[in-house]
Amino acid sequence: MTRNGRYMGLGSTRSLLRMMTWRWVEQAKHANPLSQLPGNVLIQQEAMRRLQKNEVFACIYFDIDHFKPFNDVMGYGEGDEVILSLARQLCAVFDGDTDWVGHIGGDDFVVYSGKLEPQKRCEQVQNLFKSEALSRYPAAMRKARSMTAEDRDGQLKRFPLVALSAGIVIAESRSFGSAADLAANAADAKAKAKKSAGGIHIVRSERVAEAEF
């Protein structure tokens, strides 16, 4: 057994297996039922763990644009498949030692990453998502690049095809003292990303040099 890279002693195999089993059960208990990715409880715990380590990392909030009309027209089974496809794409692109992917719920995901260039990897996920999601529409909708569905008031309206937005917050403990504070800033960055041309918005703390990320 080690702690912070230092040898601490020996442990029994039984204790190790018991701890591993406990971790598997805890993760399963708090996993999202659709994607099986870590859910809200584990997302908050991971945020606090990273903040307490006082390391700079990216918190990325992903959200699917125009997902409701897609669900309404194409059906909830197709909607679930789009969500599962996005989960796979996020895990494939963010697969490094410092990467962590969670599923908030519905079409909302969060990624924590200590790697450089989070925007470039977000763009990679956007391209994968766009290509896969486009194939799920009928040819006429793909050609028109839009679909007709009811809005929240029950009125028929034309909507763009689904797209992916990403709000990126470059975080460190001196700027964000809690997981809730970080989550609120990430949600705000995501809202601004949905209004931007490229679907990505980055927020950097004043204490974080742009050269780091």
Domains of the chain: 37-212 (3.30.70.270)
Mean pLDDT of 29-54: 91
> pTM for this one?
0.84
Give the residue-averaged pLDDT of 90-111.
96
- Residue 173: the pLDDT is 72
**Nearest residue to 108 (alpha-carbon basis) of 65, 171, 152, 44:** 65
pLDDT digit string (tens) for 24-40?
545 555 799 999 999 99
CA distance 57 to 132: 29
Rg of the chain taking only CA atoms, in angstroms: 20
Q: Specify the pLDDT at position 206.
A: 59
Q: Token digits for 120? A: 């470039």
- With beta carbons less than 8 A apart as the criterion, state whether 85 and 116 touch: no
- Tokens linked to 145: 């690049």
Provide the pLDDT for residue 40: 94
What does the alpha-carbon distance between residue 192 and residue 201 come to, in Å, rounded to a whole number? Answer: 6
